[in-house]
Structure 1
Amino acid sequence: MLTVTNPATGKVVREVEAASDETVERKLAAAQRAFLDWRNVSYTDRAAVVKAVADDMRQRVEDLAPLMTEEMGKPIREARAEVEKAAWCAEHYAEHAEQYLAPQSLPSDAANSYVQHLPIGPVLGVLPWNAPFWLAFRFCAPALMAGNTCLMKHDPHVPGCAQAIADVFVRAGAPGGLFDALLLETERVEPVIRDKRIRAVSFTGSSKGGAAVASIAASEIKPAVLELGGSDPGIILADADLEKAAEILKISRIINAGQSCIAAKRLIVEAPVYDDMVALLKEKFASLKVGDPALEETDVGPIARENLRAELHRQVETSVKQGARLLMGGEINSGPGYFYPVTLLADVEPGMCAFTEETFGPVGVVIRAENEAHALELANDSEYGLAASVWSSADRGEALAKKIEAGQVAVNGIVKTDPRLPSGGIKKSGYGRELGPHGIHEFVNAQQVWVGPVRD
């Protein structure tokens, strides 16, 4: 049984029967059958289906967005934006897949030699709860346009979202088996990964979960893409526009109540502007409204589960005991739901809990750097390497980006995922890339073709 608890109230709102083994087998078989036809469908006809899916989502934003608010506490304004972004992702790949996967001519001793990009078969997406619609389409839109079919094993805490995504494809008139949701407990995903019909796996989640999925996939000689945790640094140098940096970093830190892998989590400030930046961040954070995610005025909703809130609070309390300065927040209220106050920690240093661990919640962590070189050293002092931002002149920021150990760097802007640009991490933040032209190349057969005769 998959049980859904509304994190704003702490009350169970839905119980969904997990899929039976027979249902799983039926959906695997359907995905394989659909692939045998879909791989031969033209890009134009694939695009028509994927655009129809996007159109359905855009028309039903007010039906789909509240499911996220109910099941995982996303503020309703953010939930609507997520549905729209998922539709944009589908539209982007519908429009650009053929270009991204165009054959590549490679001169050799052949009369003609080239690489063509062919689909590989059903792809499994194993996804978390924090962005149910966006992460689903970040996974499936490129895979489908490449000619694969998709099965999605979503987090067991968001079965309503998972079924709603599957229903979008039905309403859009997609072929049966093209995309479907497997409503499963997490421990039942391993046999699906091992099933011979599944040809690749896309996983988003914790580093621990990613290691388990990667190990299973590797034992079956199947490719995998892993987008894992992050402790993303934001480097604020003395020549930065502090007001702009504080405003954008505030947004980056509290999107989805701070429950985002690419949120700005360690704010590393050069010493000459440290006190000014701390004051600005405190002012910005204090303006945020925590409350019922169903209300339009809410900026920060609840933490998704009670155990996640308890872990976040442990990290804050431990950091304070280790010497961090608590400027605001840091106390759990006694009301219903799993809310956590917007919290700001200053004077955090390497070795402290808030520096070394990923904080998944509305907790800002500010670290003093003596100079640019020290800021870079602090930024790279992490087992993670997902994303980072730099606040300085454009030239200085670009030069520093080359030295930052992260899969993506934003200079004077918010770190975000964008269908047009590749996203992914290094170190314990994972491997492979999603989105952009790189993402659609992850799950294709880059087949070399050599056509004779041999040229003189």
Structure 2
Amino acid sequence: MTSNPDTTVDNTVTTGEATYAVTDPATGDVLATYPTATDAEVDAAVEVAHAAASGWGRTTSVAERATLLRRVAELHAERRDQLAAIIEQEMGKPLAEAEGEIDFCVDIYTYYAEHAGQFLADEVLEVTSGAGTGIVRRSPVGVLLGIMPWNFPFYQVARFAAPNLATGNTIVLKHAPQCPSSAVALAQIFADAGFPEGAYVNVLATNEQVAQVIADPRVAGVSLTGSERAGAAVAEIAGRHLKKVVLELGGSDPFIVLSTDDLDATVTAAVAARLDNTGQACNAAKRFVVAEDLYDDFVVRFTERLLAEATGAPLSSVAAAENLARQVDDAVAQGAELASTGDRSGAYFPAGVLTGLTAENDMARQELFGPVAMVFCAADEDDAVRIANDTPYGLGSYVFTTDRDQAARVAERIEAGMVFVNGVGAEGAELPFGGIKRSGFGRELGRLGMDEFVNKKLIRTVTA
């Protein structure tokens, strides 16, 4: 749930300083500023995390760590109103959606508290190469650096922190510069839950400091949710230092409509899929690919509903709105038609629907991060799959059809890490999240999310 290279506040490893401040996107007012960490403070954060990884991370039981995670879940629930208000203020998320984000965090921390013992249990292998036994034992790898975005300030951290703290890894967490209040509130939650010093450490680091942390031999791996550009920069540094990386980057998810026995219900789902987080979610549907016999009717109903149901919330920043305006203007200049109402004002951007896009239009394959949808007409199933896959991204996708066999065929052919059939908003703590192509690699959530940063150690016993 991130953004494209142009709309993300690039908070990772380019040169220059990071400025941590809360700027209300609704007004443009700077409400709070936070001092950036010194080099000594960043080094101390890595050192205390390293000490905790060597001690707490390897000496506590899974049950003990699960108990702490349950308390983190409880504190999220207890502080729901406070945390949701922080999100609304920092990046303009509608309050109801901000509350829903906190509820999802509760689910995630609870899920890993309840399943960590099962996921980390020894895996018995069938030995066919001789006498004796073999097991795979999962154990922590040490300190992990998490680099988080602004669009889901608490949920993104939960995806990363919950399974890794359950494993016994320790966390150095670098949040986006526009989310310092979220960062501080989260650090307080982990402290209040009873995690020891160093298990979860928040750092308000500069870009150059982040690069140094990635290279630090005390750090075992890096997880980034952010832009394509940021992912490439992080992966380059991590690769030079032989560090494991998980990247969740941008997406231009297709929403394919091939048949329906209730077009209004399908349109309702399509609108919900586009307007999630005011359109600022990496796995929000962005390209709507509609069968030719449904296209005209879909466009009319979808446009009417999207324009009527847009949240009216601002985008995360004036810069984000300005970038979206450039993208939309470029699409129109290349022949697309825009249906919209209202004008951009500050960080506010009116909802819109782009039609008439062709493969020659630059925006046809890209990610629009805001309440603007692109609709394409598909001649048949093969054409729909072609259009859906004609993008450098491969995060999520949606397929709507009344034909079960067709759903299975299309789901198999879609080039993406996730396919949701006849439903939206169907993510869950138990379901793996991640993509392919330029949307990144690795998985978060579910059992697969716990398997990314563990030492899967083989213990082969030949004789007793």
- SS of residue in 1 equivalent to 2:219: coil
Give the distance between the partners of 2:120 and 2:312, measured in 1 at CA: 40
Residue 39 of structure 1, CA deviation: 2.1
Is structure 2 residue 114 aligned with structure 1 residue 95?
Answer: yes
Structure 2 residue 26 is the aligned partner of structure 1 residue 8: yes
State percent identity of aligned pairs. Answer: 40
Partner of 2:95: 76
2:327 — aligned with what?
315
- Contact kept, 8 Å, 1:387 with 1:415, in 2: the verdict is no
Report what 2:408 is aligned to: 398
Q: Matches of 1:411 and 1:152 in 2, distance apart?
A: 34
Q: Which runs of 5+ in 2 are unaligned?
A: 1-18
Amino acid at match of 1:220: H
> Which of 372, 383, 389 matches 2:381?
372
Matched, 1:325 2:340: no
Q: Tell me if 1:435 matches 2:454.
A: no
1:408 aligns with 2:418: yes
Are 1:452 and 2:445 matched, yes or no?
no
Tell me how far apart the structure 2 counterparts of residues 239 and 28 of structure 1 sit (CA, whole Å). Answer: 54
**Residue in structure 2 matched with residue 22 of structure 1 by the alignment:** 40
Distance 2:261 2:419 in 1: 16
Q: Deviations over 1:341-392 (max 9, x none)?
A: 0111122222323312211010011111111110000000010000100000
Structure 1: stretches of 5+ with no match in the other structure: 290-298
* Counterpart Cα distance in 1 of 2:26 and 2:363: 25
Task: Give distance in 2, aligned partners of 1:351 and 1:127.
Answer: 34
Corresponding position of 1:53: 72
Alignment correspondent of 2:224: 203
1:238-272 deviation line (CA, Å, top 9, x unaligned): 34632222111111111111011001000000100
> Amino acid of the residue matched to residue 48 of structure 1?
T
Task: Quote how far apart the aligned CAs of 1:212 are.
Answer: 0.6
User: Does the CA-based 8 Å contact 2:260-2:266 persist in structure 1?
Assistant: no
Query: Matched residues in 2 for 1:238 and 1:212: separation?
Result: 42
Report the TM-score when normalising by structure 2.
0.93
Q: Paired residues, what number?
A: 442
Q: Which of 44, 49, 52 in structure 2 is aligned with 1:34? A: 52
RMSD, aligned α-carbons:
1.4
Matches within 5 A, 1:344-359: 344-359=353-368
Displacement of 1:38 in angstroms is 2.3
Residue number in structure 1 paired with 2:433 = 423
Aligned with 2:246: secondary structure?
A: strand
1:224 is the counterpart of 2:245: yes
Q: 2:147 aligns with which of 118, 126, 131?
A: 126
C-alpha distance in structure 2 between counterparts of 1:38 and 1:311, whole Å: 43
Map of 1:65 onto structure 2: 84
Aligned partner letter, 1:427: K
Q: Which amino acid aligns with 2:227?
A: S
Shift of 1:184: 1.6
SS at 2:59's partner residue? coil
User: Is this contact kept in 2: 1:342–1:362, CA < 8 A?
Assistant: yes
AA aligned opposite 2:159:
R
Task: State whether residues 307 and 341 of structure 2, in contact with CA within 8 Å, keep that contact through their aligned partners in structure 1.
Answer: no
The alignment status of 1:241 with 2:262, answered yes or no, reads: yes
Give SS of 2:416's match. Answer: coil
Matches of 2:259 and 2:460, distance apart in 1: 56
Deviations 1:216-235 (A, max 9, x none): 11111110100000000000
TM-score (norm 1): 0.94
The separation in 2 between residues aligned to 1:300 and 1:420, in whole angstroms, is 32
- Asked if structure 2 preserves the Cα contact closer than 8 Å seen for 1:192 and 1:198, the reply is yes
The residue that corresponds to 2:3 in the other structure is none
In 2, are the aligned partners of 1:228 and 1:430 still within 8 Å (CA)? yes
2:176 alignment partner, one of 155, 160, 166: 155
Preserved contact between residue 256 and residue 301 of structure 1 (Cα < 8 Å): no
Instruction: Give the alignment of 1:127-146 within 5 angstroms.
Output: 127-146=148-167
CA-CA distance at 1:416 after TM superposition: 4.9
Could you tell me how far apart the structure 1 residues matched to 2:46 and 2:57 are?
15
Q: Using the TM superposition, give the Cα deviation of residue 110 of structure 1 relative to its aligned residue in structure 2, in angstroms.
A: 4.0
Kindly indicate whether the alpha-carbon contact (under 8 Å) linking 1:262 and 1:386 is maintained by their aligned counterparts in 2: yes
- Distance in 1 (alpha carbons) for counterparts of 2:256 and 2:180: 38
- State the match for 2:5 in structure 1: none
Name the amino acid aligned to 2:41: T
SS in 2 for 1:419: coil
- More moved, 392-401 vs 439-448: 392-401
**SS of the residue 1:145 aligns to:** helix
Counterpart CA distance in 2 for 1:381 and 1:254 is 23
> How far apart are 1:310 and its partner, in Å?
1.1
**Offset of residue 185 of structure 1:** 2.6
Is the aligned partner of 1:268 residue 2:289?
yes
Contact 1:256 1:300 in 2 (8 A): no
With over 3 angstroms needed to count, the CA separation of the structure-2 counterparts of 1:72 and 1:186, relative to structure 1, is: farther
CA 1:179–1:265 in 2, change beyond 3 Å: closer, same or farther?
A: same
- 1:385 touches 1:407 (CA, 8 Å); kept in 2? yes
